[in-house]
Amino acid sequence: MANSLVVQDAYLIINELYKMATGRENIKAVDTSSFVSVGETMLRTGVEPTLKALSQWCGRTYFEREKYRSGVFRSIIENNERWGAITREIISLPLDAEASQDWNTDLNENQLANGQSVDMYKINAPKVVELKFYGSKVLQSHITRFRDQLALAFSNEAEFLMFVSSYMTAYYNDIESRNEAKRRLTVLNFMAGISSLGTNEVDLVKEYNTTYGTELTRKQLLSSEHHRDFMAFVVARIKKDSKKMQDRTTKYHMNLTGKDILRFTRPENQKLLMYTDFWIDSETQVFPTVFNDEQLKIADKELVNGWQEFDSPAIKIRPNIIDENGVPKTAMTAVNLPYVLGLLYDRRAMGVNNQWMYSAATPFNAAGGYYNIFDHYRFNAWNNFTHNAILYVLGEGVQDDTVENRI
């Protein structure tokens, strides 16, 4: 939007800003003359409420157009629950089957005999587990705006649109960078948590060697000689895992002590994050001769240029996890994975809640001739390791025995 503002937008925006800054609608900009009049009135009212109104307007506009934004880790759940300091999930545990009471059976041959009765009021309360994800994190940022900038902006429509466009671009980029960082850390913790907990981490190099009786290294499998066969194996494995994840089992997630949790993930709730370089190389070198477009549809896929650092498949992080009783803790050691290929997961396994954001402008700095605008944010994020997920890594090969947990 910031790059497509027209003169009519200038009138709409300044009228809204005037109402937000003053609480009044007694004057409106409809042409150049009235535009300047509204601008002068706003400056006389005070630069501080004007700047605050502009920040609030940008924030509201940003969230109204959120679905049009681009960025990394877009598949991660984001919501805006103001009072969401505690996120919880109640999990219903499976109930055991009981012996039938409406027939005489080999277990109880005389339960329906004359003089007998069956108790239909026997209590069998549902068994549930409640997981709570506590806490909030706070951030702030600020930007300096000089008095002359605002005075010039209200001089005519063209200057105003340039100012608003510049302001919006910087504002949106800053918010998007912060939101991307929050999503990235949420994903990294979840990946490292799966590895640390030893739940569902698959070394595809080891799996390939085991399946075909080979002793190839990662480097060899990624070379032109073996890449085609290896990619066919990878795609087939992920597609099979995606299909199996739709069944209600205890297999693809963490279970708590004495509490087996049955989960299933329908295709529409499955998400797949994949390392870009591996996938693009495969698309250009392998897919045209091996697969058709229909065969390549693996869940809802998003390509990522780097997990922790740009252009790198490696992660090294000490994750926050839960123990076998569901109690939060921090892993004893950092997880170091040189090559993470991807993550197939249930979309409900992790997310970010942006609880609130507000802006405030400082009084005018008479010595420096400027104002500072502060933006404050509060959010929390969650990882739920009791939801289905499979982490795919590429080990070094025949000499690598670090991944012991295979599924």
What pLDDT, in 10s, does the model give residues 248-271?
999 999 988 777 888 999 999 999
Exposure b/e, 28-48, CB count within 10 A at least 16 = b: ebeeeeebbebbebbeeeebb
Q: Is the dihedral of CA 263, 266, 268, 274 positive or negative?
A: positive
- Looking at per-residue confidence, does 403 or 206 come out higher? 206
Give the model confidence (pLDDT) of 379-402 as tens digits: 788 888 989 999 999 999 875 554
Kindly give the pairing relationship between strand 300-304 and strand 270-275. Answer: parallel
- From CA 282, how far away is CA 303, in angstroms rounded? 13
**For 63-70, which contacts have Cβ atoms below 8 Å and span 24 or more sequence positions?**
65/1, 69/172, 69/176
Q: Shortest CA distance to 175 belongs to which of 146, 145, 141?
A: 141
Does this model's pTM top 0.85?
no
Phi, psi for residue 208 in degrees, rounded to 5:
-65, -45
What pLDDT, on a 0 to 100 scale, did the predictor assign at position 379?
79
Give the other-Cβ count within 10 Å of 360's Cβ: 15
With a cut of 80, say whether residue 44 has pLDDT above it. no
| Average pLDDT estimate for 184-196 | 93
For 168, list phi and psi in degrees, rounded to 5: -65, -40
Question: Over 60: is that where the pLDDT of 3 sits?
Answer: no
**What percent of the chain is modeled with pLDDT above 90?**
28
Least-confidence region, from 152-156, 183-187, 230-234 = 152-156
Q: What is the pLDDT averaged over residues 194-200?
A: 92
Mean pLDDT of 359-376: 79
* Residue closest to 393 by CA, chosen among 316, 279, 314, 317: 314
